[in-house]
Amino acid sequence: MPGGNEYMVNNAVGEDIQRALRPFDLIRDLLLVSKYRIKDNLITPRPRMYYILSLGILLVFLYVYKDISYCLSYKWCFMVIYALHPVAYATFIAIAAYQSESAIKLVTKMQEIDRNLRIVGVLDLPNHHKTSWCYVICVIVVHASKLILIIIKLNTLSSYTKLLSNIILDLEILYLAFIVDFLLSRLEAWTTVFVNAVRRPNINIIESNHVDRNTTALFGILKAILGTFLTLKAHRSVW
């Protein structure tokens, strides 16, 4: 989806994503309204009690859904997949939409801090990259279950085409979610820079003839880094 990140900023839960959740509109409402709330164009979590109640209602809905008898004829394993897919997909989309907007804001902060560090003479920033595989596992579960549902229920070319388009959309959102993990490692790298500066006060930025100016700049950068830590902590609270 070209320009997907800008699209997510303008609409935290995009219309195309909402359409992708049909015919599970009630499930979408339960998970996105009960577990999450949209405030200031951000999805933020509600208390755990809302989540427990919504899942209880969700289970009741799944077991009385009009297509339930069709799935039951294909053994109980398909029934589990039928129940798991909409829950996993709705949860993944809510988290991914939330994380993507967070990533955009944090990338802006990261670029500004990197630029300011280079101005005061810190050119070689350590790079510690971390990867969380929970996003990948979620994508695999969602689309594997969707594929099985297509095979046992529809088995049409249009359904496979829709499945592929959904995979492409989710991979793009997945990439945005990975940015959050990268930013966390970047923040750790910035912290390492300042720890080394304290331990070795004779580095270039301190040896400069403009000590006062550079010191003021460093304190400004440190303040920005601390603010970015708080932003990242707030955005990751959805977990």
- Better pLDDT: 191 or 59: 191
Parallel/antiparallel/unpaired status of strands 36-39 and 42-45: antiparallel
Tell me the per-residue pLDDT of 41-73, one tens digit each, with 9 for 90 and over.
Answer: 444 555 566 556 655 655 555 555 545 555 555
Q: What is the pLDDT of residue 207?
A: 46
Q: What is the pLDDT of residue 179?
A: 56
pTM listed for this prediction: 0.29
Q: What is the pLDDT of residue 163?
A: 58
The whole-chain average pLDDT of the chain stands at: 55
- CA atoms of 86 and 33, how far apart (whole Å): 15
The neighbour count for residue 233, using CB atoms within 10 Å, is 10
Mean pLDDT of 162-166: 57
- CA atoms of 13 and 5, how far apart (whole Å): 12
Q: What is the pLDDT of residue 230?
A: 64
In percent, the amount of the chain with pLDDT more than 90 equals 0
Domain ranges across the chain: 4-238
Mean pLDDT of 219-238: 62
> Residue 208 has what DSSP assignment?
S
Angle, CA of 29, 73 and 167, to the nearest 5°: 45
Q: Which residues have C-beta within 8 Å of that of residue 121, sequence separation ≥ 6?
A: 203, 204, 205, 208, 214
Q: What is the pLDDT of residue 92?
A: 61
pLDDT bracket for residue 22 (50, 70, 90): very low
Q: Which amino acid is at 44?
A: T
